Amino acid sequence: MWLGNVREGPPRQLQRRLYEAIRSAILRGVLAPGTRLPPTRVLAEDYGIARQTAVLVYERLLDEGYVVARVGAGTFVAETFQAPAQTPRPEAPEPRLPRSRWAQRATAAQWEQWSPERPELDFRPGVPDWAAFPHARWRRLLARRWRAAGAEAGLAQYGDPAGYRPLREALASFLAQSRGLRCRAGQIVIVSGSQQALDLLARIALDPGDRAAVEDPGYPPAHAIFRAAGATLVPVPVDPQGLDVAALRAAAPRLVYVTPSHQYPTGATLSLGRRLELLEWAAQAGALVVEDDYESELRYGGPPLPALQGLDRQGCVAYVGSCSSVLFPPLRVGWIVAPPALIEALVAAKWLADRQTSTLDQQVLADFIAEGDFARHLRRSRALYGRRRALLEEAVHRFLPPSCRLGGEPAGLQTPLYLPPGTDELAVVRAAAARGVGVYPLGPCFVPAADDERGGKPGAAADGRQPGLLLGFAAVPDERIAEGIRRLAAAIEEARRA
């Protein structure tokens, strides 16, 4: 029985198992080139299977070139396949395939390894509460679009690479009212999330060797994108007023990446004076300012601050937004509000990258915005996440020593927690994980030194900065926040003793 027991397993997969067994026997040399295979009738009788199953398997092997059929003689293993040598040979080296410098830089970047496993209490940054999302309403909008599917609904053909026009119009109106943007629908390019937005902007604005200024600390995936594009990263310090604009004049970057309304990870807000200074410098230097309006809608101490783009009169700002952190992360729909001079290049880059973002997702999101659901969901989210931010602050005061403090303003989905000087933040992360609590170090948010491409500073903050953690609170249930911080307190104490 050289094929083994192919009947083991689900009956509906019998044909696939028989095919794979014969194919494997040929590739391993069990069936040598020129070997005659048993007739389909004999094979069916020997293995207790339907003859038609054997016929279909032989036909597939014939189509793929594993066997040949000779009229009146039978079916034979093709001469193409040579049996392996009887004497062992050293393993062949892997082929030396070409690997670009972009691939090397991208591979070296620190990126989050996806895993379905999550800690019992996970303070992961950037994650909204899935239970708070209006699932039923979204399903109804989706079902309505599917019922209307057809050529006239835009699902039977490729769409405009710049995006679904009604969504761009809805966004232009919404962003003007809620964020103070100055834009038209024709300035908006729909992309597959803010990460793709940054990648496309890097492609059209930067050549290898160009300087890109980034906040330090800042958003690690943005650092990785500009580094992969071949840019030289220029880290610019951040203080309670946001980006230190004065440091840009000597650095002379071609592009500046900034999160002015809710700085990642410190939570600082770029002051009005620095906003005006940044725009004046960019206009004089001919530099592009990339404004990532990260979680700007989620502000709990007052109304959302107007966007930097609304102050731009010279066409220097490319505004990037996304709904992933407000709705749900797998919804990969974002947008760029581009200066007029960049629109043509951006649309071409989008077309080359992936042709277009999912039309169906764009249509449902357009309905969600136009019919008021997005604004209602934002109001509910502000109330929910604002309450959890307050519960987190209360728990920190209750369980942690006075030398531990929360930073930034009450906004967004996460906040920094600064630890006592000398604490090894990575040791705290490990000790918390052992207690079923997921917390995340601030170290990777700092731009590494040129001789340290590991993507983060030492865990004990040997560079002099204050150690800390980044705590996401939006997806942690109200009743579990205090318990999570209580366990974190024990983890900090263990790390301090060590």
Domains of the chain: 11-77 (1.10.10.10), 117-126+376-497 (3.90.1150.10), 158-371 (3.40.640.10)
Give yes or no for a contact between 193 and 176, defined as CB atoms under 8 angstroms apart: no
Residue range 399-437, pLDDT digits in tens: 999 999 999 888 899 999 999 999 999 999 999 999 999
pLDDT for 26: 87
Residue recorded with tokens 């279909």: 56
Measured distance CA(96)–CA(154) in Å, rounded? 44
Environment class of 212 (CB within 10 Å of its CB; exposed 0-12, middle 13-18, buried 19+): buried
The Cα–Cα gap between 445 and 225 comes to 14
Lay out the sheet containing 232-239: strands in order across. 188-191, 334-337, 317-322, 288-292, 255-258, 211-216, 232-239, 242-243
pLDDT at site 45: 85
Q: Where are the strands (E) in 98-150, listed by range? A: 121-122
Residues 6+ apart with CB under 8 A from 119: 433, 436, 437, 438
Distance between CA atoms of residues 269 and 32, nearest Å = 72
Place of tokens 């990258």: 353
| pLDDT of the residue at 49 | 83
According to the model, what pLDDT value does residue 453 have?
Answer: 38
Q: Is 77 helix (H, G, I), strand (E, B) or coil?
A: strand
Strand stretches in 34-184, DSSP E: 36-37, 67-70, 74-77, 121-122
Residues 6+ apart with CB under 8 A from 182: 176, 309, 310, 312
pLDDT at 6: 63
Q: What is the pLDDT of residue 1?
A: 52
Q: What is the pLDDT of residue 394?
A: 96
User: In 180-295, which ranges are continuous DSSP H helix?
Assistant: 194-205, 220-228, 246-251, 272-285
Is 101 strand, coil or helix?
helix
Closest CA to 143 of 363, 340, 379: 363
What is the pLDDT, as a whole number, of residue 89? Answer: 56
CA–CA distance, 363 with 264 (Å, rounded to integer)? 30
| pLDDT lower than 70: segments of the chain | 1-12, 81-92, 94, 110-116, 150-153, 450-464
